């Protein structure tokens, strides 16, 4: 399925390039802003949800899933027509989720209930509820789909959940208020950000040991403002980008050396990150300046910031049909 899409797109590159669509969830605005990736114009606004936060797309880019936290469900939209599809049960107060690499099921962190809810996106049935630590938040999935990682903000752990048995197979203690978990594409490293601890833990998934803690330092920025939240790794696995919250910066990490190579100034309170489908651009949601910044990943420069809705939270970009 995925190969077919790639082939199709390769065939199309001879013709006029098709723009991607960028979907941004606006936590306060209660909307999803849709932008055209070429013009960076707002082409549509989806409304009718309460407190949208986590946002992701199906592997084929046709379906958008949104954690509507105050609706206590996951809202589902057609990426092309913006039509709302039947919602998914989520458990109370869903904040972040991750889709299995196959496109099903969806693993949802329920902050209020100390559980991870597993939902079949086709039958819309809850498959399992996995008890985890206090205030589950970050969700990551290994590239082979065998392990889902949940971070619990008050317990300060990354819980490794077997995606077949739905049981916790390992717990790794990280720094305070872990927010986000992401593997490298080859599955050899797992990054976990800690917002209050101010670090990114690098975990060896084979041993579930922390091999390094990456720290941050920006001249003129208070150390307590350096709060790692969202994190994304490039498709080739060479670089990781870390949103540093109220420091208004995105850190660039060289994955080979695990050193910070650059800090990019973006909008205020940068929270989550999402790549363009081809990986050329990285979009950042800047909650306090109501905009997204666009980072060119070839040059690691911030090219532009674009206004979206009120308090943008999450972002996902998909190919247009």
Partner 1 sequence: MRDIHRLAVASVVLCLAAALPARAEVEYRAAVLRVDAPGPAPISRLDLVPEDLGFAGAELGTADNATTGGFMGQSFTTETIAATPESAEAEISRLLDEGVPYIVLLADAPMTLRLADLAGDRALVFNAMAPEDSLRGADCRANLLHVAPSDSMIADALAQYLVWKKWTDWFLIEGSHPQDQALAAAYRRAAEKFGARIVEERVYEDTGGARRTDSGHVQVQKQMPVFTQRARDHHVVVAADRAGVFADWLPYHTWDARPVAGSSGLVPESWHPAHEAWGATQFQTRFERLANRPARDEDYQVWMALRAIGEAATRTQGGDFAAIRDFILSGDFDLAAFKGQSLSFRDWDGQLRQPVLLSAGNVVASVSPQEEFLHQVSQLDTLGIDQGETECER
Could you list the residues that contact partner 1 (CB under 8 A)? 93, 111-112, 114, 131, 133-135, 153-157, 159-160, 168-171, 173, 176-177, 195-198, 222, 224-225, 227, 246
Which residues lie below 8 Å from residue 76, measured CB to CB, with a gap of 6+? 63, 64, 65, 66, 84, 85, 86, 87, 88, 121
Integer Cα distance of 113 and 172 in angstroms: 20
Q: Which is nearer to partner 1, 171 or 320 (CB)?
A: 171
Nearest approach in angstroms of CB 197 to partner 1 is 7
Integer Cα distance of 9 and 13 in angstroms: 6
Q: Which is nearer to partner 1, 28 or 62 (CB)?
A: 28
* Widest pairwise Cα distance in the chain: 52
Q: Which is nearer to partner 1, 49 or 294 (CB)?
A: 49
Nearest approach in angstroms of CB 133 to partner 1 is 6
Nearest approach in angstroms of CB 245 to partner 1 is 9
Integer Cα distance of 88 and 106 in angstroms: 9
Q: Which is nearer to partner 1, 8 or 173 (CB)?
A: 173
Q: Which is nearer to partner 1, 7 or 173 (CB)?
A: 173
Integer Cα distance of 172 and 183 in angstroms: 15
Nearest approach in angstroms of CB 132 to partner 1 is 8
Nearest approach in angstroms of CB 276 to partner 1 is 30
How does 85-113 read in b/e, with b if 16+ C-beta sit within 10 Å? eebbebbebbbbbbbbeebebbbbbbbeb
Residues β-bridged to residue 274: 283
Nearest approach in angstroms of CB 290 to partner 1 is 17
Nearest approach in angstroms of CB 301 to partner 1 is 27
What is the edge-to-edge ordering of all strands in the sheet holding 249-254?
231-233, 239-243, 249-254, 259-265
Q: Which is nearer to partner 1, 159 or 319 (CB)?
A: 159
> Cis peptide before 105, with omega less than 30 degrees from 0?
yes
Q: Which is nearer to partner 1, 12 or 169 (CB)?
A: 169
Q: Which is nearer to partner 1, 19 or 196 (CB)?
A: 196
Q: How far is CA 95 from CA 2, 158, 200, 202, in A?
A: 28, 16, 20, 23
Nearest approach in angstroms of CB 154 to partner 1 is 6
Three-state secondary structure call for residue 9: helix
Using only the alpha carbons of the chain, give its radius of gyration: 18
């Amino acid at each position: 399925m995925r190969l077919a899409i790639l082939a199709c797109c390769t065939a199309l590159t001879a013709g006029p390039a098709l723009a991607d669509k960028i979907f941004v969830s606006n936590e306060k605005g209660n909307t999803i802003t849709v932008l055209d990736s070429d013009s960076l114009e707002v082409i549509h606004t989806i409304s009718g949800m309460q407190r949208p936060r986590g946002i992701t797309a199906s592997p084929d880019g046709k379906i958008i899933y949104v954690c509507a936290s105050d609706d206590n469900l996951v809202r589902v939209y057609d990426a092309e027509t913006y039509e709302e599809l039947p919602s998914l049960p989520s458990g109370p107060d869903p904040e972040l989720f991750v889709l299995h690499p196959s496109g099903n099921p969806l693993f949802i962190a329920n902050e209020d209930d100390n559980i991870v809810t597993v939902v079949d996106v086709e039958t819309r049935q809850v498959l399992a509820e996995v008890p985890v630590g206090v205030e589950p938040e970050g969700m990551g999935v290994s590239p082979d789909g065998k392990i889902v990682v949940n971070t619990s903000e008050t317990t300060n752990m990354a819980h490794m959940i077997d995606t077949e048995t739905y049981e916790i197979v390992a717990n790794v203690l990280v720094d305070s208020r872990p927010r986000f978990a992401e593997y490298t594409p080859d599955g050899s490293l797992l990054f976990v950000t800690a917002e209050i601890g101010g670090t990114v833990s690098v975990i060896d998934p084979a041993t579930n040991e922390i091999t390094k803690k990456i720290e941050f330092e920006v001249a003129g920025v208070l150390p307590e403002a350096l709060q790692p939240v969202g994190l994304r790794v490039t498709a080739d696995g060479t670089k990781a980008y870390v949103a540093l919250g109220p420091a208004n910066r995105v850190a660039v990490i060289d994955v080979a050396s695990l050193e910070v190579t650059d800090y990019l100034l973006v909008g205020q309170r940068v929270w989550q990150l999402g790549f363009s489908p081809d990986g050329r651009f990285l979009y950042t949601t800047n909650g306090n300046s109501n905009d997204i910044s666009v980072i060119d990943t070839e040059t690691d420069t911030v090219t532009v910031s674009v206004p979206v809705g009120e308090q943008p939270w999450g972002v996902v970009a998909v190919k247009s049909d």
